[in-house]
Chain A
Amino acid sequence: MISVYHYMTIAAILFAMGTYGVLTRKNAIVIFMCIELMLNSVNLTFIALSRHLNNMDGQIFVFFVMTVAAAEAAVGLALMISFFRNRESIDVEEIDLLKW
């Protein structure tokens, strides 16, 4: 029988994978995909808990998270394009003009 714990575990693993990817990857778009993975693991947590608690709040929250993630993707990809136009790369190791 699949219980809420299984969903929570899967979500936690996905979240950890996303975090690991953000910290180790070099390409800004791959980093952004890892962030999306983190957000979606949160969505999975919300839905599993919502079902478990018999409470709709979690599912409504997921709609908000998805909407915000879409808006964030639009802005983020635009920022990456303008960075690429000037530097011809979106490698985060080349984000190095500003440091102390």
Chain B
Amino acid sequence: MENLVQTALNNVNMWAIMPSIILVCFAMGLLLINAFLPRGATKPAMWISLIGLAVTAFSVISGWGSPQYGFSDAVALDNFATFFNVTFLIAAAMTILMSDDYIRREGYPIGEYYPLILFTTAGAMWMASGTDMMTIFLGLEVMSISLYVLAGFFRGDVRSNEAGLKYFLLGAFSTGFLLYGIALIYGVTGSTRLSEIGVFLNAHPSLLSNPMTLAGIMLLSIGFLFKIAAAPFHMWTPDVYEGAPTPITAFMSAGPKAAAFAAFLRIMEYCFFSLKPEWTAVLWALAVLTMIIGNVIAISQTNVKRMLAYSSIAHAGYALVGMVAANEIGYSAILFYMLAYTFMNIGAFAILVLAGKKGEENLTLEGLSGFGYKRPLLGVAFTICLFSLMGIPPTAGFAGKFYIFAGAVKAGYIWLAIIGVLNSAVSLYYYLRVMVYMYFREAEEDYSWVKVPVSVVVSIVIALVGIFYLGIIPGAVMDLARLAIF
């Protein structure tokens, strides 16, 4: 008995979860501090959460190159997790920077907003570093439950209520599928540890065609495809993204989506590598469907926020192309693309936050008429973010798409790369249309309500620096991404 306890204790390695411990401590401390702050004082909460993110970032980055494994291999803080963790932290920091004036303007200066973002980030970090179905599931739920609250954060706003309720019902529904998949795979292999599942399935090839295994993989994939908003499980995305508070929409489309990709990638690569030809064939079809649905429906949108929601579906499709390629370039391109997407998408949303009026008004194309002339600097920044989303050089979006399609071509999926590039061309239409409204329409208003607080400017500057750094010298980060994959 004593031996058992000793072995169990030796297997616990707190360093493997140190970054998330720090982050959660900050978040819980912040909840406590909020109770003593006067109502409406959100600035201190913002600063504390930013400090928390910075300390966590230090802890994450200092772990690069020296992987930590803990809790009997249920958690692995390897380079893969570190790369994704940095992405989540950047997304959270940019979101927090653009939020403060926004929640004040909308009339919900509630301090709990920031701890919830930190909890979401911590959940995302567990997902990226989980190497056991249990840790991945827990991370997913910590992330999702905080996001349900954030999506419905504006209690008095009916649209925010709807977004929260819809996200909750569909999210819980998809969790049911995910869990059933995990249960079936546990039944087949007798383990929830990813590497053990992979080894067991590889050693027993007869199990690979067992209906229970296949049903398990299918249900598990449905759970993850729902979270990354791949077609045909994307129906919730536009509604939730439109109804949720704008900074939360930005955050959801970058951080949690990257987390779902991280966990999905790790599970597919660790557990089901023996079935690679089969699942890449399925993902091939889903990637094409996701790109086409996202891009084609985005064309008909007049609300810019909803348009960006559909474009985020399309971008999930591009990232899936990297998974179909399933080679070194493809996988590292997903890591690169998620980082690039964080910069360009959150940057675009930051400007949308500024352009909007109280009550989430003025987010339509018409509402942006002449915005580029009246507010030249913001107009240029928005243009750069949109160029990057289109994939025009020398921006991050171009480099990301280049690597993704290069991976697909190298793996022999020429047609997939061609479909992807054609989809990119389609996306030019709806991104350029925003610019047409911004620069070629007479301004009906003088945009006098647009206030530009310093914190939002910092967020936009981070986005622009990221876009150009990743666009002009992509090699540096791509080398890191190569070191990060398995």
Binding site for B on A (CB under 8 A): 8, 15, 18-19, 22, 28, 31-32, 35, 38-39, 41-42, 45-46, 49, 52-53, 55, 57-58, 60-61, 64-65, 68, 71-72, 75-76, 78-80, 82-83, 85-87, 92, 95, 97-100
Contacts and interface: CB of A to CB of B under 8 A. Distances in A.
B190 A53 contact: yes
B162 A35 contact: no
A83 B239 CA distance: 15
Nearest to A57: B192
B148 interface: yes
Query: Chain B binding site: helix, strand, loop or mixed by DSSP?
Result: helix
B401 interface: no
Contacts of A35: 169, 172-173, 176
A94 B162 CA distance: 9
B134 interface: yes
B306 interface: yes
A39 B148 contact: no
A42 B180 contact: yes
B187 A45 contact: yes
Given A28-B169, A72-B175, A99-B239, 4 more contacts: A46-B186, A61-B182, A95-B166, A98-B239
Interface stretch (B55-63, B153-161, B391-399, B467-475): B153-161
A82 B141 contact: no
A100 B169 contact: no
B202 interface: no
30 contacts: A8-B187, A15-B176, A28-B165, A32-B169, A45-B184, A45-B187, A49-B183, A55-B190, A60-B134, A61-B133, A61-B137, A61-B186, A68-B137, A71-B141, A72-B145, A72-B175, A75-B149, A75-B168, A76-B168, A83-B161, A87-B161, A95-B162, A95-B166, A97-B158, A98-B162, A98-B238, A98-B243, A99-B239, A100-B238, A100-B306
Nearest to B144: A72
Contact of B148 (A18, A53, A61, A79): A79
A85 B165 CA distance: 13
Nearest to B154: A82
Interface in B186-217: 186-187, 190-192
B301 interface: yes
Contacts of B243: 97-98
Contact of A92 (B148, B163, B169, B187): B169
Contacts of A97: 158-159, 162, 243
Contacts of B149: 75, 78-79
B148 A75 contact: yes
A90 to B, nearest CB: 8
Contacts of A68: 137-138, 141, 145
Contacts of A72: 141, 145, 168, 172, 175
B372 interface: no
Contact of B163 (A61, A65, A98): A98
A60 B5 CA distance: 17
B120 to A, nearest CB: 13
Interface-centre pick from A65, A68, A71, A87 (highest chain B CB count, 10 A):
A68
B401 to A, nearest CB: 26
